[in-house]
Chain A
């Protein structure tokens, strides 16, 4: 059974609209992460969290917010979606800061 799940798996959004991507893990891990994947850039860290009700900025946080309401759930929020945010987004979890386990990804297209 998949330990990190993401929803939706695919989404089309309009420019300026609000988008929420959700992640759920059953690994009992404290750390959760959001990355985006773009051709030519690999995966880059957007936000992460090491405890419920607290989030931290990663390397590319501009234009994104994150929410960690519980140990199992971590959301990525785009308040005003832009064309440049078209990408594949991955959620991951880890027991400590190193070894991470990834979800299947969400393909977001902003039109």
Chain B
């Protein structure tokens, strides 16, 4: 089956610092990889998507890079703001699977 691993449970940063979240995945299918972000009291919302055809994606200042060789999918942002505080989920989608496979999430806290 599919699986996703996010080792960082929590990241604490000051504004304008660099954010990097590591994610690894396992699948036997044809994956599409996502980063979802969840703010308190809300549902997860799509941040960006990367397919195997294009190994990078970007949105709202965030960038994600997919490496098929190491089965890794990292999220980064050069300069975070307090408004980026949220939980970030690495998510695996597979057109042959029933639904999305979520990692456990990384709580990012940004302080001014």
Chain A residues near B (Cβ < 8 Å): 4, 33, 35, 40-45, 48, 56, 58-59, 90, 92, 96-105
Contacts and interface: CB of A to CB of B under 8 A. Distances in A.
A72 B50 CA distance: 28
Contacts, number: 62
B interface, over-half SS: loop
11 contacts: A4-B43, A48-B99, A90-B44, A97-B94, A98-B32, A98-B95, A98-B100, A102-B43, A103-B43, A105-B42, A105-B43
B73 interface: no
Interface residues of B, number: 22
Interface stretch (B20-28, B52-60, B62-70, B101-109): B101-109
A100 B44 CA distance: 10
A99 B44 contact: no
A43 B49 CA distance: 18
Contact of A97 (B43, B46, B95, B102): B95
Nearest to B34: A99
A33 B100 CA distance: 10
Nearest to A91: B43
Contacts of A58: 98-99
B45 to A, nearest CB: 7
Q: Which of B32, B44, B46 has the most chain A CB within a 10 Å cutoff?
A: B44
Given A90-B43, A99-B46, 13 more contacts: A43-B44, A43-B89, A45-B98, A45-B100, A48-B99, A92-B43, A97-B97, A98-B93, A98-B94, A101-B46, A102-B44, A105-B41, A105-B43
